[in-house]
Amino acid sequence: MLNSKQRAYLMKMASNEPAIFQIGKSSLTPEIIAAVDSALEKRELIKISVLKNCADDPRELAEMMAERTHARVVQVIGKKIVLFRVSKKKPVIELPR
């Protein structure tokens, strides 16, 4: 579980990052989940954009992705989702206590 200080730290880091995935009409596919899982292992912090043609709620999508990839939802603002997970092989981001 992320505390407010850690969440704020991660939100600040993510604010300048571009979204590396887009979720569209087909919503969450196994391929997207696998790609998000792989990206989390490499980058730890990723931003995802939910396109206008996706009928699903971004908050629900964020929770489902976090559950399936064992990540944490950092924030959901409008149609942007930020996820975080510590890398198993090479942790890079050090969270404040």
In a domain, 25, yes or no: yes
In a domain, 90, yes or no: no
Query: What proportions of the chain, in percent to the nearest 5, are helix, strand and coil?
Result: 40, 20, 40
Amino acid at 9: Y
Domain range for 59 = 4-84
In a domain, 75, yes or no: yes
* DSSP H stretches of helix in 2-57: 4-15, 30-43
Bridge partner residues of 77 (DSSP):
80
- Please tell me the total count of domains within the chain: 1
Q: How much is the pLDDT for 76?
A: 97
Q: 38-61 as b/e, with b when 16 or more CB fall inside 10 Å? A: ebbeebbbbbbbbeeebeeebeeb
Cα dihedral 5, 63, 52, 28 sign = positive
In a domain, 94, yes or no: no
Q: How much is the pLDDT for 18?
A: 96
Report the C-alpha gap between 74 and 84 in whole angstroms.
Answer: 6
0.85 surpassed by pTM:
yes
User: pLDDT tens-digit profile of 2-28?
Assistant: 899 999 999 999 999 999 999 999 999
Q: Is the pLDDT of residue 53 over 90?
A: yes
User: pLDDT tens-digit profile of 54-93?
Assistant: 999 999 999 999 999 999 999 999 999 999 999 999 899 9
Q: What is the CATH number of the domain that holds 72?
A: 3.30.110.60
Residue 97 binned pLDDT confidence (cut-offs 50, 70, 90): confident
